[in-house]
Chain A
Amino acid sequence: MTLTNTFRAQPDDSGHFGQFGGRYVAETLMPLILDLEREYRAAKEDPAFAAELDDLLKHFVGRPSPLYYAERMTEHVRATAAPGKGAKIYLKRDELNHTGAHKINNCVGQILLALRMGKTRIIAETGAGQHGVATATVAARFGLPCVIFMGATDVERQKPNVFRMKLLGAEVRPVTSGAATLKDAMNDALRDWVANVHDTFYIIGTAAGPHPYPELVRDFQSVIGKEAREQILEREGRLPDLLVAAIGGGSNAIGLFHPFLDDPEVAMLGVEAAGHGLDTDAHAASLAGGEPGILHGNKTYLLQDEDGQITEAHSISAGLDYPGIGPEHSWLHSIGRVEYSSATDKEALEAFQTVCQVEGIIPALEPSHAMVAVFKRAAEMDRDQIIIANMCGRGDKDIFTVADALGVEI
């Protein structure tokens, strides 16, 4: 047996991150999942695949995204922090990507896999609509028909993104089962997939689902952390002290964290959505309020009752409104390598407004949760310390939700 001092060698050969992850899918899907794994391994070794992916990331997505020193946010924190306190805040500007969020990084990777496997039809689930838009975008770019499953509740609260997907030629199928949010959209996407395995590729939007999805989504999103690592070394000549990212399924967070996992001096904080508060039953904090269980193809922390029935999540942010979390986060949580906290709807709304006014950036509600923690932690850290936070999406899609929450009529 070889013991390695690395946190970056997961999952194991059977797709497990410690006790988490795995392949808990209907038998119909198993041959396809195994095929996908084989094809992904081959693609990873293929320089032509890497070259095409890099080219798309550069010229279609607009990478690398800037690493931006948020001077005014830093000053804002220092104005009320104790003397000598107030860490430097850097933002990884993934909201500047084509389609306005980090989701596109993964979609370009997966559509290249779909083409490689000869699949001719694309499906995806979406919550906030960012992953749906990103999927519809790459499907249009490569001329493949595309169906997006979206909870009817989310269709209602994310109308601009629904229209974007339609403009891009995708069919948006509202899902009315359950609470009609992301979890239910994923159920219906899986139902479609199982009935169309022969020609359909399922582009999963977060680092969750059956193996190899958590691994390949992480790998495609790791471009965030790889760039950030190079950029901070160039800017500051050293690694950051803390990384902060919002967690729904956790793809933007694992993308930022993974390239730093073996740097012991870099602390990491994932921020879950606490909705109305962790002491209520209206939140989406799977690690803080859930237990390990099996859903949507993987074993991970889930919001559930004592019988293992999945309970409804709540967050003002549609992208975080999911009762589970990617299995690698469950593992990183269990071994203590990454710390996880949470932010409420109210806190996120406050941080959203502060970032708008202080920094001239309208953040999505998802990274607004991360910004809550950034403001808190920066105030406790020394001035010569460095935080990198992932600005994983822009807030244009959220202005109606925010207006509604603030009681403003547009």
Chain B
Amino acid sequence: MSRLATTFARCKAEGRAALVTFVTGGDPNPAATPAILDALVEGGADVIELGMPFTDPMADGPAIQRANIRSLAAGTRTADLLRIATEFRQRHPDVPLVLMGYANPMVKRGPEWFAHAARNAGVDGVISVDIPPEEDQELGPALRAAGIDFIRLATPTSDEQRLPTIMDGASGFIYYVSVAGITGMQQAAQASIDAAVARLKRYTDLPIAVGFGVRTPEQAGPIGKVADGVVVGSAIIDIVAEHGEHAAGPVRDLVASLAAALR
């Protein structure tokens, strides 16, 4: 079983949702990222999403936009991200690591190059915000051949007609984007999340992780009652923005409070 499957199964056995945490790689600089990733794990994160910075993060709100800008301004390159992933895998052999970002930096050197580089770095899954199922051939076949899950997104606009297309070829988990909007803004009503997760479950046996607008333990707790995973990003990014190179401690504290809310 893959690290992702093992982790979601373990959380399920423990009767709780997995805590999935996102940070932008290289924010505030590449040298600071490893300690922040370690803080996520120490705080109790089950799955780590490592954001690949991009100049044009079209699906992201101001917090993650600024994180991308800080990372690129600090000189973060694709090679830095892959090195950060490789070293993370050496320190944390069992914690699933997912690269998340936009298509262009992923496909620039060709899909096979990226898939092999990601596999060699110990990456378990990839989320590409702007590759919908219709453009799967851009990256999907290469990732699957390398044994990496290409994680699909579902949204409030994914109706019954759309869901089979999304689930066809999906693996790892389904990332449910709970609001039609950009990252870090408003939170979805709990009732709409309950209904959406129930709907998704009719179309897939994969774990469902719910994200977008989830910032506090008070929000994470109820979502964790219905979903298999809860994703928190912008709230962590805000702490990195505030504390910069000294963010590890405060990040660990926030993550610990989120993890506690899911237990």
Q: Is the CB of A195 within 8 A of B181?
A: yes
In the complex, A304→B55 CA distance in Å?
A: 10
**Contacts known (A197-B180, A293-B108); A310 close to B157, Cβ less than 8 A:** no
Which one, B35-43, B115-123, B125-133, B234-242, is touching chain A? Answer: B125-133
Contacts of A28 in B (CB 8 A): 59, 155-157, 177, 180-181
A24-B135, A26-B59, A31-B162 as given contacts; A294 in contact with B107, CB under 8 Å:
yes
Give which listed residue, A177, A190, A309, contacts B65 with CB less than 8 A.
A177
Q: Let me know if B103 and A294 touch, CB within 8 A.
A: yes
Report if A405 contacts B (CB, 8 A). no
A194 touches B181 (CB 8 A): yes
* Interface check B187, CB cutoff 8 A: no
User: CA of A221 to CA of B149 in the docked complex: distance in angstroms?
Assistant: 42
Q: What residue of chain B has the Cβ atom nearest to residue A14's Cβ? A: B134
> Contact between A27 and B181 (Cβ–Cβ < 8 Å)?
no
Q: Does A178 contact B (CB under 8 A)?
A: yes
Q: Does A236 contact B (CB under 8 A)?
A: no
Contact status B108-A304, CB under 8 Å: yes
Contact call B180/A24, Cβ cutoff below 8 A: no
B46-60 contact mask (Cβ, 8 Å, vs A): 1 or 0: 000000001111111
Query: How many whole Å from A296's CB to the nearest CB in chain B?
Result: 7
Nearest CB in chain A: distance from B15 CB, A? 30
Is A369 in the interface zone, CB < 8 Å from B? no
Provide the residues of chain B in CB contact with A311, threshold 8 Å.
55
- B58 contacts A190, C-beta separation under 8 Å: yes
B77 within 8 A of A: yes
B166 touches A27 (CB 8 A): yes
Residues of B within 8 A of A27 (CB): 132, 152-155, 157-158, 166, 177
Interface residues of A in 274-331 (CB under 8 A from B): 293-297, 302, 304, 306-311
- Of the residues A31, A197, A294, A308, contact of B159 by C-beta under 8 Å: A31
Chain B 86-114 interface 0/1 with A at a Cβ cutoff of 8 Å (1 = within): 00000000000000001111111000000
Interchain CB contact (< 8 A) of B108 among A26, A194, A296, A307: A307
Contact B180 A23 (CB under 8 A): no
Q: How far is the CB of B61 from chain A (nearest CB, A)?
A: 8
B59 touches A191 (CB 8 A): yes
Q: A24-B130, A190-B58, A195-B180 are in contact. Are A30 and B185 (CB under 8 A)?
A: no
Is there contact, CB below 8 Å, between A178 and B182?
no
0/1 string, A1-32, CB within 8 A of B gives 1: 00000000000001000000011111111111
Contact between chains at A309 and B158 (CB < 8 Å) = no
Cα(A198)–Cα(B157), bound, Å: 9
Q: Provide the residues of chain A in CB contact with B177, threshold 8 Å.
A: 26-28
A32-B56 contact in complex given A197-B180, A198-B180, A304-B104, C-beta closer than 8 Å: no
Max count, chain B CB within 10 A of own CB: residue among A14, A28, A293, A309: A28
Contact B56–A297 (Cβ < 8 Å)? no
- A78-95 residues with Cβ-Cβ distance < 8 A to B are none
* Known contacts A27-B166, A28-B177, A308-B107; A195 and B159 CB within 8 A of each other: no
**In the complex, chain A residues whose CB is within 8 Å of the CB of B102:** 294
CA separation between A380 and B155, bound complex, in Å? Answer: 57
User: Does B193 touch A at the CB level, under 8 Å?
Assistant: no
**Contact indicator per residue, chain A 21-56, by CB within 8 Å of chain B (1) or not (0):** 011111111111000000000000000000000000
A198 proximity list for chain B (CB < 8 A):
180
Known: A195-B180, A294-B107. A25 touches B78 (CB 8 A): no
Contacting pair B132 A30 (CB below 8 A): yes
- Which of A29, A190, A310 contacts B55, CB < 8 Å? A310
User: In the complex, what residues of A have CB within 8 A of residue B19's CB?
Assistant: none
Q: Which residue of B lies closest to A30 (CB)?
A: B132
For the complex, give the distance between the alpha carbons of A165 and B3 in Å.
54
Cβ contacts under 8 Å, A353 to chain B: none
Nearest A residue to B181 via CB reads: A195
Q: Do B158 and A31 touch across chains, with their CB atoms under 8 A apart?
A: yes
Distance of A293 Cα from B182 Cα, bound (Å)? 23
Contact of B180 among A22, A183, A190, A194 (CB under 8 A): A194
How near does chain B come to A189, taking the closest CB pair, in angstroms? 9
Q: Are A310 and B104 in contact (CB under 8 A)?
A: yes
Q: Are A307 and B58 in contact (CB under 8 A)?
A: no
Measured between beta carbons, the chain A residues less than 8 angstroms from B45 are: none
Give B contacts to A, CB under 8 Å. Answer: 54-61, 65, 69, 72, 77-78, 102-108, 129-132, 134-135, 138, 152-159, 162, 166, 177, 179-182, 185
Q: Known pairs A309-B55, A309-B104. 19 more at Cβ < 8 A?
A: A23-B132, A24-B103, A28-B156, A29-B157, A30-B157, A30-B162, A31-B162, A178-B56, A184-B56, A187-B56, A187-B58, A190-B59, A195-B181, A293-B108, A307-B77, A307-B108, A309-B54, A309-B72, A309-B105
Give 4 closest A-B pairs by Cβ, nearest first.
A308-B108, A195-B181, A308-B105, A308-B104
Pull 30 A–B residue pairs with CB atoms less than 8 Å apart, ordered by A: A22-B134, A22-B135, A23-B134, A26-B58, A26-B59, A26-B129, A26-B132, A27-B132, A28-B59, A28-B157, A28-B180, A30-B134, A30-B157, A30-B162, A31-B162, A177-B65, A177-B69, A183-B56, A190-B59, A191-B60, A191-B182, A194-B182, A195-B180, A195-B185, A197-B157, A297-B130, A307-B77, A308-B54, A309-B104, A311-B55
